[in-house]
Chains A and B, each alone.
Chain A
Amino acid sequence: MTIKLFLTTLVCTLFVISLFIGPAHLPISDSLVAIFSDQGMLTLIMYEIRLPRALLAALIGAGLGLSGAAMQCYLRNPLAEPGIIGISSTAALGAIIALQTGFAASFAFALPLSALLAAAIGVFIVLRLSGPTASSLTLILAGVAVSAFSGALLTLVLNLSPNPFAVYEVIFWMMGSVADRSMQDFWLILPFLALGAFLLLKSKNALDALTLGEDAAHSLGINMHNLRLVIIFGTACIVGASTAIAGAIGFVGLVVPHILRPLVKAQPSQLLPISALGGAALLLSADIFIRVVFPTKDLKLGVITALLGAPLFLHLIVKLRKGQAS
């Protein structure tokens, strides 16, 4: 409970800080007044620029942290991450095809809807490939296959692009960001993220049972077929919607559960909610960091999370070698 309380306080604090940071350099008192009363341009900045940015960072961070924890617990692998089932790659491919074909500019939600549609196709292919009674390994292989194929198609689209500026646009989009998003974007992905979070949190006790392996979990009353569908569908909702709005933000789903696991003595049912809070805190912090340290550089969120994620592997190698030595 203490960890949950601490992380909740941290997320709330970071959310408020995020609201008060931006290139407009508004005094905190003016920003506060602008939230609660109509102050013209100031209120517009708060509601159309800063609030969606903070809300999306918190929501997408929470979703990625939660789905990462669920995927690690389901696959019983601390190196699993939400993208392992190939959904982020297919969502990215959908978005990039929309950008390259110009469909993204045809109406407001064309880009995120293309990504969501592609994510749904990705889920369908992964489920078809892995079969009705897939083991964890088959699921990972199906995810890797879909991911690799989407990656190949993505490079093909870039390769064939006649316009170098469009390629730049795609590359920047792929780096991941929550800047310049609107409240409409937030409302668009909220139902997907809420449904995904509901499904994953509903499975937390089943994930506890899965600690003992699939046979033992089955003997404890867990329907493994249903659990697999719920985890894949829940993760796909979160990852597909997040990628659709913010691009590919890696490592959050890998790093957050990994760091928080020892704090809950590795119990999956406790790891899931705190990973959601941890993910929100991480993405809010990263987004604040970008705006405070590099206010003029338009540094992308995915770059910062990748820079944070890479040292984790070094830490794992050191830990593994220490374990082997002892």
Chain B
Amino acid sequence: MILEVHNLSIHRQKSMLLSDISFSVSTGELVGIIGPNGVGKTTLMRSILGLVEHSGQCNISQLPTKERAKIAAWMPQEREIAWPISVEKLVALGTMPHRQYFGKAPHKPDQKVTQALKDLHLLPLKDRPATQLSGGEKARVLLARALAQDTPLLLADEPIAGLDPAQQISTMRLFATLAQKGKAIVLSLHDLSLAARYCTRLIVLGEGKMVSIGAPSDVLTEQNLKNVFQVRAWQKHTSEGHIFQPMEVI
């Protein structure tokens, strides 16, 4: 197992934000974390990365920062790019954990950087200042940076938010392909239909705890949808996968 979380709880001030979360993720899995706004999806991922204090055990958060960077890459929801550095240089930052202590950025782009640029269709933009890109382009650049980190585990917070439908589908397909090639990927998602279609497993968070975990068809039950999301949905198993469409608010 590349990621193991056991009885993880997070307190914020005096209240409990998440309690007793336990799950594990192995290589080759694409796991989606779903739940309503403010339930703690981002906080759970940040705690896995050692960015939020928690009780319980997590094999990734307990690693030293430098070691963790070689195992888990992180794409935060905030698309912060402070300086107008080129797209290629920004993506190349992903290779930093693998450089020597005083290592300089290589003059020639790393093969992983080129591959990440290619995978996210960013080669035509590689010389553009990253701050001048649209929101969707920035999301792709930041994802390419996380891919260039070349870690066995990738955590991404809302990676398809703000992308157009074509980019959303191609990004989810890319995640699925990467998972098939052996990477473990954990995403937080709001789009239940894409989560149902591409994720191998889903973790449903609701009211501070893990409500359910399993294959999309097992997790996206009428009862869970009603209790957690307060929606009714239409769903069907097809040759294209599990098709899911939220229909109305209950």
Residues of A within 8 A of B (CB): 73, 76, 202, 205, 208-213, 215-216, 218-223, 261, 265-269
Q: Which of B73, B78, B85 contacts A267 (CB 8 A)?
A: B85
Find out whether the CB atom of B129 lies under 8 angstroms from the CB atom of A265: yes
Find out whether the CB atom of B46 lies under 8 angstroms from the CB atom of A212: no
Which residues of B, 63-103, contact A by the 8 Å Cβ criterion? 65-66, 68-70, 72-76, 78, 80-86, 89-90, 93-94, 96-97, 99, 102-103
A27 to chain B, nearest CB (A): 45
Find out whether the CB atom of A221 lies under 8 angstroms from the CB atom of B65: yes
Find out whether the CB atom of B81 lies under 8 angstroms from the CB atom of A211: yes
B interface, over-half SS = mixed
A256 to chain B, nearest CB (A): 16
Residue of A221, A266, A268 with most partner-chain B CB within 10 A? A221
User: Is the interface on chain B under 10, 10 to 19, 20 to 34, or 35 or more residues?
Assistant: 35 or more
Q: Does B174 contact A (CB under 8 A)?
A: no
Q: Does B49 contact A (CB under 8 A)?
A: yes
What CA separation (Å) do A297 and B51 show in the bound complex? Answer: 57
Find out whether the CB atom of A265 lies under 8 angstroms from the CB atom of B85: yes
What CA separation (Å) do A82 and B28 show in the bound complex? Answer: 48
B13 to chain A, nearest CB (A): 15
Q: A205-B99, A215-B74 are in contact. Are A220 and B83 (CB under 8 A)?
A: no
Residue of A211, A215, A219, A221 with most partner-chain B CB within 10 A? A219
What CA separation (Å) do A222 and B65 show in the bound complex? Answer: 7
Which residues of B, 2-48, contact A by the 8 Å Cβ criterion? 46
Q: Does B142 contact A (CB under 8 A)?
A: yes
Find out whether the CB atom of B89 lies under 8 angstroms from the CB atom of A265: yes
What CA separation (Å) do A269 and B93 show in the bound complex? Answer: 11
Contacts of B96 in A (CB 8 A): 205, 208-209, 220-221
Q: What 1/0 mask marks residues of chain B from 45 to 58 whose CB sits below 8 Å from any chain A CB?
A: 01001110000000
Known: A212-B145, A215-B51, A221-B97. 16 other contacts (CB 8 A): A73-B82, A76-B82, A76-B83, A205-B103, A211-B85, A212-B82, A212-B90, A212-B142, A216-B74, A216-B142, A218-B49, A219-B49, A219-B72, A221-B70, A265-B86, A267-B89
